[in-house]
Amino acid sequence: MASIASGTVLITGPTGGLGRAATSAMARRPDAERPDLILVGRPGRGLAEVAEEARDAGATVHDVGCDLARLADVRQAAEQVRQVLASGATRPLRAVIANAGVSVTDTHRVSADGYELTFAVNYLAHAQLIGDLLEVLKTPARIVLLGSNTYYENIFRRILRVAPARWRDPIELAQPTPPDVSASVELAGTAYSDSKLALLYYAHELQRRAQPGVGVVVFEPGFMPGTGLGREHGEALQRVGRALERIPGVSSPTRSGPMLAAVALDDRWAHLRDGAFVVKDAERQVMPFANDAAREARLWTATDELLRSVS
């Protein structure tokens, strides 16, 4: 049977943090284990630089500019990817890593399509992209979504005041905070955690609908306090985060990036399906409420409604 590494891997958000580290890890693999790469990210110097770095390491690379906060861009990017694949310029698409994400401080902010920005980028954009590319995946194939344990509260996160998910109907989750409600750290944290719980529900439903031979996985890179994900929270907080990354057991892009690459590529993980939850390098069980067939079916239909309502 062919391996995932015998084809092409598409990764979103390759220009910094976890995505850049994962891209580098894939590009630097030995020839027999190195996939072709399609890098989908915001156009500009950052995307050009990471593409060139990957080429210098020996990978065949195609970079596709895309603003994930604009669904029209996502659709155009998917079409461009399909054209690259059809041209034979790259090997068959065998994996999609939905890595890109944001964590905003103000949930009044909206995407180009009017949806709350966190939900729009972290969830809706990837649902659009994967939906547009699902039929061109060549099996065996793997879809890796970026999860987060923030979807539920434990003692550690309670102490740090990390807001857990507060699930509501997906149509409501897609709406920005009303103008008469003040922005807050709690609302921002809840929006982030809601988007990550949505990805868990989506993973389970996607597996039910994907063709045989496609495995759906959710990867949690671990607590990475110094990444660009928190750039909106200020440089001072990011400096503290980078200092915390020196503590043993605290994750960083350089530690977790190769783990993400391995989950996408390695035969060790070929058995994973059904939205299996991998925390760094170990499979874990999710909380019982993160498996809910009714919520998963509703999310699927609501997602279709949200995406179709944008021309």
Decide if pLDDT at 80 tops 60: yes
How many residues are recorded in the chain?
311
Residue with tokens 């982030």: 192
Q: pLDDT tens across 128-142, in order?
A: 999 999 999 999 999
Which pLDDT score, from 0 to 100, does residue 211 have?
96
Burial of residue 249 (number of CB atoms within 10 Å: 0-12, 13-18, 19+):
exposed
For residue 194 the two structure tokens come to 């809601």
Span 51-60, average pLDDT: 98
Listing DSSP states for 232-277 in one string gives GG-HHHHHHHHHHTTSTT---HHHHHHHHHHHHH-GGGTT--TTEE
How high does pLDDT run on average in the chain? 93
| Strand partners of residue 219 | 146, 278
Span 68-84, average pLDDT: 98
- Rounded-to-integer distance, Cα 176 and Cα 108, Å: 5
Decide if pLDDT at 240 tops 70: no
Task: Give the pLDDT band (50/70/90) at residue 160.
Answer: confident
> At a CB cut-off of 8 Å and minimum separation 6, what does 172 contact?
none
276-279 and 282-284 strand pairing: antiparallel
115 backbone φψ class: left, alpha, beta (φ>0; ψ -120 to 50): beta
Q: For domain 4-308, give the CATH superfamily.
A: NAD(P)-binding Rossmann-like Domain (3.40.50.720)
> Is the four-CA dihedral 139, 66, 50, 80 of positive or negative sign?
positive
Closest CA to 37 of 4, 3, 67: 4
Q: Does 228 or 205 have the greater pLDDT score?
A: 205
> At a CB cut-off of 8 Å and minimum separation 6, what does 86 contact?
none
In the chain, what are the domain boundaries?
Answer: 4-308
